[in-house]
A and B are shown apart, each in its own frame.
Chain A
């Protein structure tokens, strides 16, 4: 098959009992140490979930059930980087400061 073309979509649903929005931003990185990339999605809005979703690789080219992490506010971007210098990767997210407001 031709390089640079892609196959049918495999859909990994965030099957949470609460509404979880579609990803606003996506990134990949090595989180669980199995040598395969893991996926992190920023999910900005939902009834109960505002944060990010980690889709861990299963070590054989597929993926495990997504895991949710709540942030206090809407999440619009996400990256995997070692922020605290401890040698492993942390997930950082940009929070949109929208949860309140005043006019003065």
Chain B
């Protein structure tokens, strides 16, 4: 799936095309409209993106290559970038080759060239050219993550495979050869349409477990670690928990202070511009209670599925961070939304003034 992250203005006021969607190969549906072109006769669709109302989701046909580009008005003369091999939409950072500096693993979501790319840090504020590991054309990557799941001392690469219609049900794992190159991937099953991924110990056995946020199934899936190390390391079949809405992003932290990791899921609502943040409490061994739902952007025009957790006020518990789009006079502007955790036994009374509440 290519989420163009554009917004159509419902009003006919804007008669120009803010973006043009250029379709070169294949056939792409955009709502009721179809954009179909080939190498010599490309088609274009006008996208009005002046104001936010609802997102465009551009979808290609399952199993067929489709290549599309977005061009901004007035930039047609700028030489284009080919998306082949590099359409980054997420990344993870870590020392992939053991040389002490931080390298980058990029998830390439763009259908036509999905996969992962590795950018090694040269150690002199430059990065080596990306090394691209492809996946089949319809295996659109959602997000990537890094974890040493086989306990051999290097970081292995994980990617959710959501598919171009969120129809797929798996993650891919590339084992690190120890030098930042990666072996052929192995796969593990998830719920439908995995988008977000978080890797941490949710069961308390000291081994990393995988949780995916499943856009297609509106659920999360935990893939518990099998406890083995080396070549036998892997994950048990997924156990899924309903997350209410289309789960897209996920963050983990101990939300309720019981010492084990919980998750918060950023979700898209089927109809309307809302996004929700679903707080799901780990009741032990990676089992999750029914979600408690929060509006990501109360009073806003559009909600983000982006989510983060951090103790923003240093009161000892983690707070919830989301985002959205708000009308601001004649224009719209994004916003960060903060919800503070009710759980702390401390009240923040200003700098260096924590008041204990027994």
Contact of A23 among B37, B40, B336, B343 (CB under 8 A): B336
Cβ-closest chain A residue relative to B289: A4
Contacting pair A24 B91 (CB below 8 A)? no
**B337 in contact with A10 (CB, 8 Å):** yes
A71 CB-CB contact with B under 8 Å: no
Q: Does B342 contact A7, Cβ atoms closer than 8 Å?
A: yes
Residues in B with CB closer than 8 Å to A9 are 294-295, 297-298, 322, 337-339
Q: Interface digits, B325-358 against A, CB 8 Å rule (1 contact, 0 not)?
A: 1101001111111111111100010110000000
Assess the B340–A81 pair: CB atoms within 8 A: no
- A45 with B5: in contact, given A4-B256, A25-B306 (CB under 8 Å)? yes
Task: Report if A14-B335 is in contact (Cβ < 8 Å); known contacts: A4-B255, A61-B313.
Answer: yes
Q: Hey, which chain A residues are within 8 Å of B52, CB to CB?
A: 21-22
- Determine the chain B residues whose CB is within 8 A of the CB of A27 once the complex forms: 308
- Which residue from chain A places its CB closest to the CB of B292 in the assembled complex? A5
B281: which A residues are within 8 A, CB to CB? 4
Check A61–B348 contact: CB distance below 8 A: yes
Interface residues of A in 1-49 (CB under 8 A from B): 1-28, 35-37, 39, 41-47
In the bound complex, CA of A23 to CA of B348 (Å): 27
Give the chain B neighbours of A81 by CB distance below 8 A: 93, 102
**Interface of A (DSSP majority class):** loop
- On chain A, the number of residues with a Cβ less than 8 Å from chain B's Cβ atoms is 68
Residues on the B chain within 8 Å of A2, using CB: 256, 342-343
The 3 closest A-B pairs by CB, nearest first: A101-B69, A3-B343, A4-B256
Would you list 13 pairs from A and B whose C-beta atoms are within 8 A, ordered by A residue?
Answer: A3-B257, A4-B256, A11-B299, A23-B336, A25-B90, A26-B321, A26-B322, A37-B310, A39-B321, A41-B306, A77-B89, A94-B90, A99-B72
* Residues of A participating in the B interface, judged by any CB pair closer than 8 Å: 1-28, 35-37, 39, 41-47, 53, 55, 57, 59-61, 63, 66, 74, 76-77, 79, 81-85, 92, 94-104
Q: Which residues of B contact A (CB under 8 A)?
A: 5-6, 22, 24-25, 37-40, 42, 49-50, 52, 67-72, 75, 78-83, 86-93, 101-102, 104, 106, 121, 123, 125, 249, 255-258, 262, 279, 281, 292, 294-295, 297-300, 302-304, 306-308, 310-315, 317, 319-326, 328, 331-344, 348, 350-351
